[in-house]
A and B are shown apart, each in its own frame.
Chain A
Amino acid sequence: MGEFSINPGTEIRNAQAEIQQFRLRLAIGGVFTLVMFALLFVRFFYLQIVQHDHYHTLAEANRISIVPIVPNRGIIVDRNGAVLAHNYSAYTLEVTPSKVQDLEATIDDLATVVEIAARDRRRFKKLLEESKRFESLPIRTRLSDEEIARFAANRYRFPGVDVKARLFRQYPQAELFSHVVGHIGRINQRELDHLENEEQLSNYRGTDYIGKTGLEQSYEKYLHGTTGVEEVEVDSGGRAVRALSRTLPVSGANLVLKLDAKLQEVIYRSFGDRRGALVAIEPETGGVLAFVSKPGFDPNMFVDGIDPQNWNELNTSPDRPMVNRALAGTYPPGSTFKPYMALAALTYGKRRPEQAISDPGYFNFGGHMFRDDKVGGHGMVDMYKSIVVSCDTYYYMLANDLGIDAISRFMSQFGFGSRSGVDIAGESSGILPSQEWKMRRFKQKWYAGETISVGIGQGYNSYTPLQLATAMATIANDGVMFRPHLVNYVEDIHTRERTYIEPKPLREIPLNPEHLAFVKNALVGVNKEGTGARAFAGAPYASGGKTGTAQVVGIKQGEKYVESKVAERFRDHALFIAYAPADKPKIALAVIVENAGFGARSAAPIARQVFDYYLLGKEPPRPAPDDDDAPQH
């Protein structure tokens, strides 16, 4: 081989040699092609035979996407089937931040296609801070058909922006049940961690929302359901092409409440624009018939993520609409404590019913003057009268005779100072004072003088309206106590199977039936001839009740509380506890009207309207009018 030499003399031989030379080179070229094609074959063999499993897996992973199918959340209805929380389908415009280069510019552009209010932007910004970049976040909810069409026509301009059909939660009764039903909201990091601990995370794939408060939170595991799975073939753009297999989701169970929506509405109306709380309980089951905390708020605002402006308003309002007064608000029980004190006295043998005291209008203890509200006193007062006219002096003395620990021991049986265990979270335990409690709380010993005001429901005493109502229901039910519960049963919508929420008694308080009958009779007396008589005048049913007034600010010794001199927010709270009908109670309640003065005047008329509606079906024409000359607490 090599450069071929040229010899001018032998052209034919040269031509022959030249052809030989050429054919050799051509043969080398041929071998080269064969070797190269063999190399390709080896490569193909390696990819398609040796590594086939590997590439097969990769191709399948490319192609198949596991898509969760979110179950429908269970609905919540009242005892008569009125809907308190349900779902509806709507279209939302969603942005995946990680797929968008300039978020601000994209949203500005979007605003030319569909309406995006400043409120939507603020809410989106808040969501953005709380979530991960690759999550799809709603910028607009409830798109109209026209807006969907307009976006579809401009879709190519907006990579990373999609219209999605989603189920939305709606609370048709809005404010009325904000503190009972609660609301759902987007899952946050803390909830994610919790779900992971519960090994529920996979069941929440695809779910963006979770119950945040109220029943939505406490019955989350029933309401949510089981997430289904769909194996979907997707193209390189991630769009679903067809379904390969499908495991259907199991819808969440429905909640059927003990609550009566209409009753709740009647109560709400009868409060007018005053703040307060009312809890009504069915004594023989512990089922909660009404659960009002006023003011409330519109839970629908939270479903799409609340915007910062509304959030601030709710949180800074002096009316504190976010506080569930019935569940977490604690108030001194005032004179509504007296019937229990009387029962304690009878049970522990410290008083006999007919035993009377002479009330000078005050009780002197170690130089301290404990005033009775009635100047000059009530004269001769036996136990019946002490309850009916609400005599303070009688109970100052009684408290002193019983001592704080006996009071505490007796009252704890009625659930005072401990959580009732109602089926929503966030309950306060209240304060049932005792020597041991004070030592724990203040590292101080109990002074005997502190017992005196506890006797009339003041001092350290502090309970939730729910506790007051539960105790009242226990009296009405002759000492048989139920755990209060809002939900009657949970219904599986596939099998129609119902799971009832514990109607069994929590405990039976050992009480002498005679003592009980005596106190109940006195309570009936209150509404017949005592402090509640005005509110219950002309009622076709007999009822038992007790008025109360809870001090908001301490009144100095010897000073008289004058309502008109005290700023509205520092006025006393009005309380009333009651049950009806007296012989076979169907309903027991506790109501507190904040800063409304004497219980007889503001709280008792609300109780009357509740009973009238619940027992007689009578609806109040308009909010309860103030009644200035009612008997005093």
Chain B
Amino acid sequence: MHPNIRRIAAFFTAHVDGLLFGAILLLTGTGLIVLYSAANGTFARVSSQLGNVMVAFTVMWAFANIPPHYLMRLAVPVYLIGLMLLVGVALFGEVVNGARRWLHVGVTRIQPSELMRIAVPLMLAWYFDRYESALRLRNFVFAALLLIVPVGLIVRQPDLGTAVLIFASGGYVLFLAGLSWRVIVGMIVAGGASLPLLWSVLHDYQRQRILTLIDPTQDPLGTGYHTIQSTIAVGSGGLFGKGWLNGTQTHLDFIPERTTDFIFAVFSEEFGLVGNSILLFLFLLVIARGMVITANAPTLFSRLLAGAITLTFFTYAFVNMGMVSGILPVVGVPLPLISYGGTSLVTICLGFGILMSIQTHRKLVQT
């Protein structure tokens, strides 16, 4: 091979983690195949998603080439900008479908909560790294504050799905940073104990809403409809599924939002338990590779960030599949790398870019 070509190839591949990228490719490829079926055998959505994949991979490659210590410098400004935008949303945001999530900035509008998906773990990792030598309980208290303020703002929008995931990503950082078990257990106990108190102050309609989340059959035509129909799709898939493009629940329009949040119902109906197992395996592959990268990461910052990204990715996948199969309440969480939609794909791949960067810049840092 010509040395120039080799050099160009090296430029593109030097900071790409082959194993991680391979698993990501398999998942996005699966996503496109399912999307074709979910879109009733039409190409429009698939080609549009292909464009999203290109953008996301470019972002991933770019972030893979940014050394982690540059990211550290970005942590505080990005977090503060994100927080300001969230406050802006709360004050001047645009209401779409009953939720105040969007903010008009000049010609376009943005959804600042997306930015916080990365900004929050980045900020917390930076914070713990800065106080690495002398971590005390008050550091954890302050870190928790850094987490709860944006999460609280997002809950108020309301965007429960995003709030849960950001809370989880921040929580993983706190956990990995060594939050005392006593505190963890104490919080769980306190949380459990406060539930009856919380229940007693809720209005009847709020209680009803929670009961419907737990038992969808109470409201089969309202919020329960999604869960009932997606559960039927999964269950009717059986061992081998009904076959690609043959899902009746899918193609007869019984599955709502089947290209986005409920795309797993399509996959599950058409590919059955065998397909589900393969998909779970691919997700585990990505998570395992993320764990290995995390374990080998040289600094506390990169360790915490990599761990949070990996476990957040797991949480996305688990919450989505749990919701589609009816064991978790319906919150708006897409299936990572599979669901149609650019924003979530870019955010996820940005995270993988950071993982690759941490992995490939390791030798340079380790002295």
Residues of A at under 8 Å CB distance from B? Answer: 1-4, 6, 8, 11, 18, 21-23, 25-26, 29-30, 33-34, 36-37, 39-41, 43-45, 47-49, 51-52, 54-56, 58-60, 62-63, 233-237, 241
Question: In the complex, what distance in Å separates the CA atom of A49 from the CA atom of B229?
Answer: 17
B37 to chain A, nearest CB (A): 16
Q: Among B7-15, B80-88, B170-178, B343-351, which stretch is in contact with chain A?
A: B170-178
A72 to chain B, nearest CB (A): 31
B235 A40 Cβ-Cβ under 8 A: no
Question: In the complex, what distance in Å separates the CA atom of A45 from the CA atom of B327?
Answer: 13
Residues of A within 8 A of B277 (CB): 41, 44
> Counting CB contacts under 8 A, is B181 at the interface?
yes
Residues of B within 8 A of A37 (CB): 280, 283-284, 318
B295 A48 Cβ-Cβ under 8 A: no
> Counting CB contacts under 8 A, is B38 at the interface?
no
B177 to chain A, nearest CB (A): 8
B121 to chain A, nearest CB (A): 14
Contact of A47 among B231, B287, B303, B310 (CB under 8 A): B231
B295 A233 Cβ-Cβ under 8 A: no
Given known contacts A52-B236, A62-B249, A236-B254, is B325 in contact with A40 (CB within 8 Å)?
yes
B280 A2 Cβ-Cβ under 8 A: no
B325 A47 Cβ-Cβ under 8 A: yes
> Counting CB contacts under 8 A, is B307 at the interface?
yes
B235 A36 Cβ-Cβ under 8 A: no
A44 B236 Cβ-Cβ under 8 A: no
> Counting CB contacts under 8 A, is B366 at the interface?
no
Residues of B within 8 A of A233 (CB): 248, 252
11 of the cross-chain contacts (CB-CB < 8 Å) are A3-B180, A22-B303, A22-B307, A33-B287, A37-B283, A43-B326, A45-B273, A59-B235, A59-B236, A63-B252, A233-B248
A40 B234 Cβ-Cβ under 8 A: no
Given known contacts A45-B273, A55-B236, is B325 in contact with A30 (CB within 8 Å)?
no
A43 B325 Cβ-Cβ under 8 A: yes
Question: In the complex, what distance in Å separates the CA atom of A505 from the CA atom of B310?
Answer: 98
Q: Which of B229, B236, B239, B277 has its CB near the most chain A CB atoms (within 10 A)?
A: B236
Name the 6 nearest CB pairs between A and B, nearest first: A55-B235, A59-B236, A47-B235, A235-B252, A236-B253, A3-B180
Residues of A within 8 A of B232 (CB): 55, 58-59, 62
B288 to chain A, nearest CB (A): 8
B253 A33 Cβ-Cβ under 8 A: no
Question: In the complex, what distance in Å separates the CA atom of A114 from the CA atom of B178?
Answer: 73
Contact with A along B229-251 (1 / 0, CB 8 A): 10111111111000000001100
Question: In the complex, what distance in Å separates the CA atom of A6 from the CA atom of B272?
Answer: 52
Residues of A within 8 A of B236 (CB): 52, 55-56, 58-59
A6 B135 Cβ-Cβ under 8 A: yes
> Counting CB contacts under 8 A, is B276 at the interface?
yes
B180 to chain A, nearest CB (A): 4
Contact with A along B75-118 (1 / 0, CB 8 A): 00000000000000000000000000000000000000000000
Residues of A within 8 A of B235 (CB): 47-48, 51-52, 54-56, 58-59
Question: In the complex, what distance in Å separates the CA atom of A142 from the CA atom of B284?
Answer: 64
Beyond the given pairs A3-B182, A55-B234, 17 more chain A to chain B contacts, judged by CB atoms under 8 angstroms and listed by A's residue number, are A2-B180, A8-B133, A22-B303, A26-B295, A29-B172, A39-B327, A44-B276, A48-B273, A48-B276, A55-B232, A58-B236, A59-B249, A62-B252, A235-B252, A235-B254, A236-B229, A237-B253
> Counting CB contacts under 8 A, is B294 at the interface?
yes
Residues of B within 8 A of A34 (CB): 284
Contact with A along B275-290 (1 / 0, CB 8 A): 0110010011001100
> Counting CB contacts under 8 A, is B16 at the interface?
no
Residues of A within 8 A of B249 (CB): 59, 62-63
> Counting CB contacts under 8 A, is B300 at the interface?
yes
Contact of B300 among A11, A18, A62, A236 (CB under 8 A): A18
In terms of DSSP, what is the predominant structure of the interface of chain A? helix
Using CB atoms, name the residue of chain A closest to B136: A6
Residues of B within 8 A of A4 (CB): 135, 178
A44 B291 Cβ-Cβ under 8 A: no
> Counting CB contacts under 8 A, is B268 at the interface?
yes
Size bracket, chain B contacts: 35 or more
B280 A23 Cβ-Cβ under 8 A: no
> Counting CB contacts under 8 A, is B314 at the interface?
yes
Residues of B within 8 A of A60 (CB): 248
Residues of A within 8 A of B134 (CB): 6
B233 A48 Cβ-Cβ under 8 A: no
Using CB atoms, name the residue of chain A closest to B274: A48
A29 B311 Cβ-Cβ under 8 A: yes
Contact of B284 among A1, A25, A33 (CB under 8 A): A33
Residues of B within 8 A of A36 (CB): 314, 318
A26 B231 Cβ-Cβ under 8 A: no
Given known contacts A2-B181, A62-B248, is B234 in contact with A25 (CB within 8 Å)?
no
> Counting CB contacts under 8 A, is B333 at the interface?
no
Question: In the complex, what distance in Å separates the CA atom of A57 from the CA atom of B272?
Answer: 16
Residues of B within 8 A of A30 (CB): 287-288, 291
B248 A59 Cβ-Cβ under 8 A: yes
> Counting CB contacts under 8 A, is B322 at the interface?
yes
> Counting CB contacts under 8 A, is B145 at the interface?
no
A26 to chain B, nearest CB (A): 6
> Counting CB contacts under 8 A, is B321 at the interface?
yes
Contact with A along B133-176 (1 / 0, CB 8 A): 11101000000000000000000000000000000000010011
Question: In the complex, what distance in Å separates the CA atom of A54 from the CA atom of B238?
Answer: 11
B191 to chain A, nearest CB (A): 18
Using CB atoms, name the residue of chain B closest to A37: B280
Question: In the complex, what distance in Å separates the CA atom of A11 from the CA atom of B132?
Answer: 11
Question: In the complex, what distance in Å separates the CA atom of A234 from the CA atom of B249?
Answer: 10
A603 to chain B, nearest CB (A): 69
Residues of B within 8 A of A52 (CB): 235-236, 238-239
Question: In the complex, what distance in Å separates the CA atom of A241 from the CA atom of B248?
Answer: 11
Question: In the complex, what distance in Å separates the CA atom of A163 from the CA atom of B233?
Answer: 32
Residues of A within 8 A of B233 (CB): 59
B315 to chain A, nearest CB (A): 9
Residues of A within 8 A of B175 (CB): 25, 29
Residues of B within 8 A of A6 (CB): 133-135
Using CB atoms, name the residue of chain A closest to B179: A3
Residues of A within 8 A of B310 (CB): 29
Identify which of residues 204-238 in chain B touch chain A, using a CB-to-CB cut-off of 8 Å: 229, 231-238
B144 to chain A, nearest CB (A): 15
B295 A23 Cβ-Cβ under 8 A: yes
B231 A55 Cβ-Cβ under 8 A: yes
Using CB atoms, name the residue of chain B closest to A61: B232
Question: In the complex, what distance in Å separates the CA atom of A236 from the CA atom of B225?
Answer: 11
Using CB atoms, name the residue of chain B closest to A3: B180
A40 B176 Cβ-Cβ under 8 A: no
Question: In the complex, what distance in Å separates the CA atom of A53 from the CA atom of B116?
Answer: 44
B241 to chain A, nearest CB (A): 9
Given known contacts A29-B175, A62-B232, is B280 in contact with A43 (CB within 8 Å)?
no
Q: Which of A11, A21, A30 has its CB near the most chain B CB atoms (within 10 A)?
A: A30
B291 A40 Cβ-Cβ under 8 A: no
Residues of B within 8 A of A29 (CB): 172, 175-176, 291, 307, 310-311
B318 to chain A, nearest CB (A): 5
Given known contacts A37-B284, A43-B327, is B294 in contact with A26 (CB within 8 Å)?
yes
B254 A62 Cβ-Cβ under 8 A: yes
Given known contacts A40-B280, A48-B234, is B307 in contact with A26 (CB within 8 Å)?
yes
